[in-house]
A and B are shown apart, each in its own frame.
Chain A
Amino acid sequence: MLEKALIGSKKYWIWLFFLLVVLLVGAANYLRQLDYGLGITGMSRDVTWALYIAQFTFLVGVAASAVMLVLPYYLHNYKAFGRITILGEFLAVASVVMCLTFIIVDLGQPARAFNVIIYPTPSSILFWDMIVLNGYLLLNIAIGWTVLDSERKEIAPPKWVKILIYVSIPWAISIHTVTAFIYAGLPGRSFWLTAIMAPRFLASAFASGPALLILLCFILRRFTRFDAGKEPIQALAKIVTYAVIISIFFVLMELFTAFYSQIPEHMKHFTYLFVGLEGHRGLVPWMWASVILAFGAVILLINPKTRENEGLLALACGAVFVSLWIEKGLGLVVTGFIPSPLDKITEYTPTGPEVAITLGVWALGFLILTVLYKIAISVKEEVEN
């Protein structure tokens, strides 16, 4: 089926070329990082994880969201999702590839990455994250590819795929749970030391991922002959609505616990995030933008009239995606380090090379996504003709 990716319109090739350029700029900057060390980024002794690890954390959520299509379709026989489950699975593939690339890009000694396999250490959450992420990647490649191949041959998918599909459902939950455990089990980082971390991750994942899927469906309708249809998009929109509300609810729970208990260790990180600490307010405008976007999206999503208006729905989905990207991809990781265990406030600003590398990894993901979607849409068109 790969040959389908080789025949495309002029727009398709221009888009691929554009992504390739961004990817190459990122790669060139990565070579500089390999030479100089991670000091080329804005990270410091106090803020040792930042943009890369935050992107990884956010994208795990996008990847896990495929389950929001797979579960209703396969477990509840919700037929409307049948046409687009492949989009969810391929989005998961592209997202997990980005996740893994962000981890590699963040390593001080990437050439030694295989030490994680050579010296397996079950006490480390990173070891388990490697297993669940790679497993989820393989599952989605196998499932997506086989089901699409069967669709092309107009036969029922082989039975063994069904087993993989059932496995992939709890597996999707696991990737986000394990990723949350990276943060939630550290004794000295009170910002992350919360039992609600994994549920919070899941809620925001089930909002940001399906929101992106809706946007992708709109883009596909605009540029290809593939129309996902009104019903699945509206069903996805309801999932986004519930998930974003639960996500906001969970953040409010965190704020209550911190500020009602009045425990300084728990309050100071949130204070830094939303109003600034001792004059340091680097993330404050971002976080308020996130808050406004989230509440704005809720207003648009909760009202059936605005939700069913596709233009406003696209706007709401964009707002959800950006809002949660700020919350996970910017605020959550860096703020865990501010203030430091020795009560020092070191703010973080990404550097040019760091942003270029980050964009390069995103371009890689969208390149994979574009090629996979091209194949899927071409197969669907071929079958329909």
Chain B
Amino acid sequence: MNPSRRTFLKLTGLSLLGLSARPAWDALAGNEKTKFVKGPEALKGKRWAMVVEMAKCREGCRDCLDACHRVHNVPDFKNSKDEIKWIWKEPMKAVFPEQEHPYLGEPLKERPVMVLCNHCDNPPCVRVCPTQATFKRREDGIVMMDYHRCIGCRFCVAGCPYGARSMNFRDPRPFIKEVNPEFPTRTKGVVEKCNFCVERLAQGLLPACVEACKEKALIFGDLENPQSKIREVVQSRFTLRRKPELGTSPQVYYIL
């Protein structure tokens, strides 16, 4: 072996060793912490769900919407083309088109209803994602996103029958009014949506929208827990879900 080749091999070996140093150091030093580790205070559930009680929802109020978009660094592009939405209002006739009839009064037809990701029990978005960047958390049924894995193919957007998903058609960061350092901002070219506030549940907090609603129109809880308030409401009151006939088993229930 000639000397230059030996030096080359040595250098290559050293470089490879160098590459592995950081992960090894991190593992030894216990640096490998994720941002939203569940502490002892975390809320635990087996099937998180939400009830939206429209009678309590005050017209013109934007508290839940603003709270959500503020804590999650949702940009405001001020145009419907690039728009990102996690929770927003839609007229009732669009949310429950199958319930519309010619004698339904205009005010009811146009009545704004809060919509968000339904965290379906059988989510088509998860089924179609080619990289598992969107997935259903086994322990509690939340449909989540990995913004670092998403390739931006938008198959999930086509797959979602509720229009709950938004694509970052451009860099969202300049359009965030005030960045919340506690939650990651997104990059252009990935899809995002409501995450049922996984990061807050891990800290023992209710979702931001639920907390922000002074009228208590939003009920959040564990449907699998027979003692929970949401279970009692869903059991005793007539609720509607959006497009249940599609077999997605949406987990946002409406009392109109």
Contacts and interface: CB of A to CB of B under 8 A. Distances in A.
Contacts of B84: 45
A188 B155 CA distance: 12
Contacts of B149: 112, 115, 119
Interface residues of A, number: 45
Nearest to B159: A186
Contacts of A187: 124, 159, 161, 246-248
Contact of B131 (A43, A49, A115): A115
A109 B97 CA distance: 35
A45 B130 CA distance: 20
Interface string A97-119: 00000010011111011011011
Given A38-B169, A108-B152, A343 B160 contact: no
A36 B172 CA distance: 11
B162 A109 contact: no
A248 interface: no
Interface in A119-175: 119, 121, 123-127, 130
A112 B191 CA distance: 14
Contacts of B187: 109
B155 A124 contact: yes
Nearest to A265: B97
Contacts of B243: 188
Interface stretch (B21-29, B62-70, B75-83, B177-185): B75-83
A116 B152 CA distance: 12
B151 interface: yes
Interface string B167-208: 111110000000000000001111100000000000000000
A2 interface: no
B13 interface: no
Contacts, number: 144
A37 interface: yes
B8 to A, nearest CB: 29
Given A38-B169, A108-B188, A187-B248, A119 B132 contact: yes
Contacts of B168: 37, 108
A39 B94 contact: no
A109 B129 CA distance: 14
A39 B150 contact: no
How many chain B residues sit at the interface, stated as a range, is: 35 or more
Interface stretch (A66-74, A224-232, A334-342): A334-342
Interface string A314-330: 00000000000000000
Nearest to B164: A341
A341 B151 contact: no
Given A43-B169, A187-B247, A108 B160 contact: no
Nearest to A340: B163
Nearest to A188: B161
B219 interface: no
Interface string B219-256: 00000000000000000000000010011100000000
Interface of B: 80-85, 90, 93-95, 97, 115, 124, 127-133, 149-155, 157-163, 166-171, 187-191, 243, 246-248
Which are the 10 A-B pairs with shortest beta-carbon distances?
A108-B152, A188-B161, A108-B189, A39-B169, A37-B188, A39-B170, A37-B170, A126-B130, A124-B130, A44-B81
Given A185-B128, A188-B159, A189-B158, 14 more contacts: A39-B81, A39-B170, A45-B81, A45-B83, A48-B154, A106-B153, A107-B152, A107-B189, A109-B190, A112-B151, A116-B130, A119-B132, A121-B130, A123-B128
